[in-house]
A and B are shown apart, each in its own frame.
Chain A
Amino acid sequence: MSLYDIIFYLFAAITILSGFIVVTSKNIVYSAFSLLFTFFGVAGIYVLLGADFIAIVQILVYVGGILILLLFGVMLTNKITNVDIRTGTIHVLPGAVAVGVLMGLLLSAMVWTEWKTQPSETPVTTTVTLGRLLITDYILIFELLGILLLIALIGAASIARREQE
């Protein structure tokens, strides 16, 4: 096993273990904090894939933003911290069947797809290429993204200020 493999399995283990805690934890705050490690593990896998910019974005937006927003959501909700949030009925057998079928589908797709492999070359930083593509090939998508963010901005403002009208 090479160093690369060891690092990959380390990050995969972090992601899966903390994801398991997110789902099974009774305390919603513990779930939110385990989600931090899930995001971190995914960021590590992005780095291994050579997507350095995406990894930084993952940490900056998901860990630095979305997770904080999630914890804000917990704080904004009245009397949520001491409530058992898991459902009373957990259907193990149907759940196992559904997960098994999904996993079989994914694994068979993974095994039988003819993946296009190419000899590994030292990847250069992706940031420069992204910056170039944003204002050349994908300029329309870029401007549409601005409008999408504008919609999110106005939506947040109108939801949060509704009672003051």
Chain B
Amino acid sequence: MVTNYIPIFLVLLAASIFGAAVVFSSRIFGPLRPNKVKIMPYESGKDPIGTTNERISIKYYLVAMLFIVFDIEVIYVYPWAVEFKKLFAQYGLFAFVPMFIFLVVLELGFVYIFMKGGLRWD
């Protein structure tokens, strides 16, 4: 049963080797002759303005929070969807109604945020 996951491990291995090669090969093989301009933070060729660790608006946090909630919602939909054909054959409409209620409850929250203007980007 563990052997089923060997392809995933191989992909992970290949991805990490590739990532490490891309990041570290320039450091290993490239000549290191720094000067003041070279070690400056890169901002599309312009001189950097201010610091990088500035505060970011809370609006982004709402988007991230919404993402997690709908992420979890999808996780509950997924196993139901995989088995839906058999469940529908067995229970008929009652295989559909519970998921419908679940989704409607969550969409109520989405509509609430939408009506309250939570997604307005001002």
A residues within 8 Å of B by Cβ?
A: 3-4, 7, 47-48, 50, 53, 57, 60-61, 64-66, 68-69, 72-73, 75-82, 122-123, 127-128, 130-132, 134-136, 139, 142-143, 145-147, 149-150, 152-154, 156-157, 160-161, 164
Contact = CB atoms under 8 A, between A and B. Distances in A.
Given A76-B60, A161-B62, A50 B116 contact: no
Contacts of A128: 79, 82-83
Interface residues of B, number: 49
Contacts, number: 141
A122 B75 CA distance: 24
A135 B87 contact: yes
The 4 A-B residue pairs whose C-beta atoms are closest, nearest first, are A131-B79, A153-B109, A156-B65, A131-B83
A55 B86 CA distance: 25
A4 B72 CA distance: 30
A47 B7 CA distance: 14
B71 A65 contact: yes
Interface string B57-94: 01111101111110111011011111110010001001
Binding site of B, secondary structure by majority: helix, strand, loop or mixed? helix
B62 A134 contact: no
A146 to B, nearest CB: 4
Contacts of A154: 109, 112-113
B79 A156 contact: no
B1 interface: yes
B26 interface: no
A54 to B, nearest CB: 10
A53 to B, nearest CB: 7
Interface of B: 1-2, 5, 53-56, 58-62, 64-69, 71-73, 75-76, 78-84, 87, 91, 94-95, 98-99, 101-103, 105-106, 108-110, 112-113, 116-118
A132 B2 CA distance: 25
Contact of A132 (B68, B73, B87): B87
Q: Which of A60, A69, A134, A160 has the most CB of B within 10 A?
A: A160
Contacts of B66: 153, 156
Contacts of B53: 79-82
Given A146-B102, A153-B66, A47 B5 contact: yes
Contacts of B60: 72, 75-76
A131 B117 contact: no
